[in-house]
Amino acid sequence: MSSDPYSPVVRDYFSKAPHAGDLADAVTVEIAEQGVRLRLAATEEDGRIRALRFRAWGCPHVIAACECFCVEYEGRPVQSFSGFQASDIMRILSVPVEKTGRILVLEDAVRSLGRVLCSDSAPQ
């Protein structure tokens, strides 16, 4: 059993985080809970996510989870956000169970972003 609290995937996502930043003309949501602050930004084209960016104030698992979300969800249908599960990210990153609350903040932000995107693209 490794004594390293961070999996290699967490270390990689945390150290590189190429999706950290902002997007022009994007839909954004911002949330602050559980000692975590997140901002997600998305652009959409023909019902699919064209690009995702994030900003985060939190522990390495939170930053890695945001990056992981961006990697996994770019190109997916907008509706897929409603099925986002924190548990999936936690499994990919081997996040310790005591940090569940922090990753749930990301789940809240993703679902909120999905709702905004869906309402923006709904027929007027």
Partner 1 sequence: MNDDLIYLDYAASTPIDPRVAEYLLDCRHTLFANPSSNHIAGRESRAGIAHAASQLSALLNVDPRTLIWTSGATESDNLGIAGGARYRAHRGKHLVTMPTEHKAVTDVFRMLEKQGFEVTWLEPDENGYLDPATFAAALRADTQLASIMYVNNETGVIQDIEAIGSVCREHDVLFHVDAAQAVGKIPIDLRALPVDLLSLTGHKFYGPKGIGALYLADRPGCHVEPILFGGGQQRQIRPGTLPADLICGLGLAAEIAASSIDSDLRHLVELRDTLWAGIRDIAGVLVNGDLEGGFPGILNVSVDNVEGESLLLELEPICVATGSACNSQSQEPSYVLRALGRSDLLAQSAIRFSLGRPTRREDVEIAARRYREAVARLRDLAPGAAA
The footprint of partner 1 (CB under 8 A) covers 6, 11, 14, 17, 20-22, 30, 37-39, 55-60, 63
Question: Is there a contact between 64 and 98 (Cβ–Cβ < 8 Å)?
Answer: no
Shortest distance (Å) from residue 20 CB to partner 1: 5
Shortest distance (Å) from residue 56 CB to partner 1: 6
The owner of tokens 């996502």 is 13
* Radius of gyration for the alpha carbons in the chain, expressed in angstroms and rounded: 14
Q: Name the H helices within 17-124.
A: 60-73, 86-93, 100-121
Shortest distance (Å) from residue 17 CB to partner 1: 7
Closest to partner 1 by CB, 26 or 80: 26
Beta partners for residue 32, in sequence order: 37
